[in-house]
Amino acid sequence: MSENKINYQEEVLKAGLLLGFVSVFITLITYIISIEMMTEWWFGLLSLAINISLIIYLGITFRKNIGGYMSFKESFKFSFIAMAVSYAIGILFNIILYNVIDPSLPEVIKQITVEKTVEFMEGFGSSDEVIEGTIEGVEQGIEDSTTPLGLIKSSPWGLLFIALLSLLTAAFIKKNKEISDRVN
């Protein structure tokens, strides 16, 4: 049997870079097409579904390349590291997008989000006081999530979310060796 000459760190890094660049590409194309689309709830779900599908595909491909078997622990580790690399790329890109490419973007996103939130809350008959309180929270949240410090400060929560996603994706990637219950 030939020994696999696959460098684990290199493969995980390649998966993370690919995942990160796909995410950056999706964000950049969406930014070019319509900033408003960036604030849609379904856009976030679509991006998440693409990323989950891609990491599962990359994980299964890696599993096949190393002999066809990976434990849940190995699958989790692969997913987590690859998604963490992608997350770091995303943070760097967002810092560049919000502060270099288009410094007015956070304000535009804030205005669109506030308009949609007010429209939604008025549709449910919320009082003006409740709407104002919610709007203040929305504005502060957007300001906190678009500054370099805010993006970095939110990274522990992002890593926790990645860990939870890695549990999910590892379940699809793993494949244990079959153990025969037959005694010879």
Q: What is the dihedral of CA 40, 46, 51, 53, to 10 degrees?
A: 170
Whole-number Å distance between alpha carbons of 102 and 57: 33
pLDDT tens digits, one per residue of 14-26: 999 999 999 999 9
Whole-number Å distance between alpha carbons of 128 and 126: 7
The distance in angstroms from the start CA to the end CA of the chain is 24
Alpha helices in 34-154 (DSSP H): 41-65, 72-96, 105-123, 128-146, 148-153
Is residue 183 in a domain?
no
The predicted model scores a pTM of: 0.85
pLDDT tens digits, one per residue of 36-62: 999 898 999 999 999 999 999 999 999
> Domain range for residue 110?
8-173
Is residue 128 in a domain?
yes
Is residue 181 in a domain?
no
